[in-house]
């Protein structure tokens, strides 16, 4: 039987807490190796995902953001469709409402650490405050917002 991943099938970019594990398991059920199911050898991830990942993250390799392919010498407006920003060909991802995603993260953490993440409105509000403060002070997000990257 031929390998179901041969022939340039779609590349799945897993964004944590967006339903990616369900997509990967459904793909595996139908014979397609995506994300955490991509590597045939648990020690060999090079090329298994269909893209290189940005090094330095502490999370699992399939949760790391993709390393954008080289974009050449192009310069221009980010919203100009003629400018290639290093898109991954034949790729897809799952995305969901960011507020639902934050609630999901909190529910997950409260299940693991109920003393630190109590299932109360006050504790959830504190979590949101800390999370939003991190976003406001994040240098990468600031440069994306101002276009200085």
DSSP letter string over the chain?
A: ---TTTTT-PEE-PPTTSSHHHHHHHHHHTT---GGG--SBTTB-TTTSSS-B-TT-SS-GGGSPBPPPP-TT--S-TT-TTS-----TTEE-----HHHHHHHHHHHHHHH-TTTS-SSHHHHHHHHHHHHHHHHH-HHHHHHHHT--
- Least confident stretch, 16-25, 44-53, 78-87: 78-87
How do residues 98-138 score in pLDDT, each as one tens digit?
Answer: 888 889 889 999 999 999 999 999 999 999 999 888 877 77
The model carries a pTM of 0.56
Q: Residue 81 and residue 105: Cα distance in Å, rounded?
A: 34
Residue 80 is predicted with a pLDDT of: 52
Contact (Cβ atoms closer than 8 angstroms) between residue 57 and residue 34? no
Residue 74 is predicted with a pLDDT of: 47
Nearest of 88, 105, 106 to residue 18 by alpha carbon: 105
Residue 44 is predicted with a pLDDT of: 67
Contact (Cβ atoms closer than 8 angstroms) between residue 60 and residue 36? yes
Given a cut of 60, whether residue 142 has pLDDT beyond it is yes
């Amino acid at each position: 039987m031929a390998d179901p991943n041969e022939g340039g099938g779609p590349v799945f970019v897993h964004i944590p807490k967006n339903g990616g594990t369900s997509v990967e398991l459904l793909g595996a059920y139908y014979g397609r190796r995506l994300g955490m199911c991509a590597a045939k050898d648990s020690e060999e991830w090079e090329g298994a995902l269909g893209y290189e990942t940005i090094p330095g993250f502490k999370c699992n390799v399939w949760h790391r953001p993709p390393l954008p392919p080289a974009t050449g010498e192009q310069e221009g407006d980010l919203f100009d469709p003629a400018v290639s920003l290093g898109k991954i060909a034949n790729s897809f991802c799952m995305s969901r409402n960011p507020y639902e995603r934050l609630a999901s993260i909190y529910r997950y953490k409260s299940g693991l650490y109920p003393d630190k993440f109590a299932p109360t409105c006050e504790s959830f509000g504190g979590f949101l405050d800390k999370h939003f403060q991190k976003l406001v002070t994040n240098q990468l997000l600031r440069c994306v917002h101002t276009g200085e990257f």
